[in-house]
């Protein structure tokens, strides 16, 4: 079994902010500063504060192992969000780049658009939104669309 503890370069445990790290994949972070500003604005608009959020971009296999080890789920997923504190928000968010690429193809959207949707999906979970019931899924999708429009405007 692979070590599922990622290494976060250039950060200290007490650093605040939003950090983007690639664990076992290559991903060009196009505009981390703009993404961080957008994420912070979403959190504020939802009525929360934040301390630190670590986004870890990884492979399907790595996220599957995280899913098995920490959630006792034996299936692939695009995102797993671990809230470490509620308000101010502190969290680790794991995103499978492979799964996002596959979803983008399935939904006929650009990879970057699907990646941004998944990124904000994790934030919405941290702000108390759920997606287990059909009505919850519809509501969180509306929130995603709302915040994605704010990113591009």
pLDDT tens-digit readout, 120-153:
999 999 999 998 899 999 999 999 999 999 887 6
pLDDT score recorded for residue 132: 87
pTM to 2 decimal places = 0.88
Q: Calculate mean pLDDT across residues 24-43.
A: 89
pLDDT score recorded for residue 56: 94
Closest CA to 58 of 14, 11, 101: 101
H/E element, 135: helix 134-152
Closest CA to 48 of 127, 150, 129, 139: 127
CA dihedral 30, 96, 125, 37 (to 10 degrees): -10
CA distance 44 to 28: 27
> Sign (positive/negative) of CA torsion 112, 117, 120, 126?
negative
pLDDT band at residue 15 under the 50/70/90 scheme: confident
* CATH topology (fold) of 17-152: Collagenase (Catalytic Domain) (3.40.390)
Percent of the chain surpassing pLDDT 70: 89
pLDDT score recorded for residue 12: 56
pLDDT score recorded for residue 153: 64
pLDDT score recorded for residue 8: 46
Per-domain boundaries in the chain: 17-152
Q: Calculate mean pLDDT across residues 62-90.
A: 93
Segments in 12-133 forming alpha helices (H): 32-45, 60-71, 97-107, 111-126
Q: Calculate mean pLDDT across residues 63-88.
A: 92
Closest CA to 70 of 86, 85, 54, 81: 81
């Amino acid at each position: 079994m692979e070590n599922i503890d990622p290494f976060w370069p250039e950060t200290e445990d007490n650093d605040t902010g939003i950090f983007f790290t690639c664990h076992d994949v290559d991903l060009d972070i196009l505009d981390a500063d703009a993404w961080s500003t957008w994420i912070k604005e979403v959190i504020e608009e939802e009525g929360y504060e934040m301390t630190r959020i670590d986004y870890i971009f990884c492979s399907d296999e790595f996220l599957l192992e995280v899913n098995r080890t920490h959630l006792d789920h034996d299936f692939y997923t695009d995102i797993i969000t671990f809230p470490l504190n509620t308000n101010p928000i502190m969290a680790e968010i794991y995103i499978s780049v492979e799964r996002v690429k596959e979803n983008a193809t399935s939904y006929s959207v650009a990879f970057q658009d699907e990646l941004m949707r998944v990124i904000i999906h994790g934030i919405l979970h941290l702000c108390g939104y759920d997606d287990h019931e059909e009505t919850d899924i519809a509501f969180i999708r509306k929130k995603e669309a709302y915040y994605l429009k704010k990113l591009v405007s």
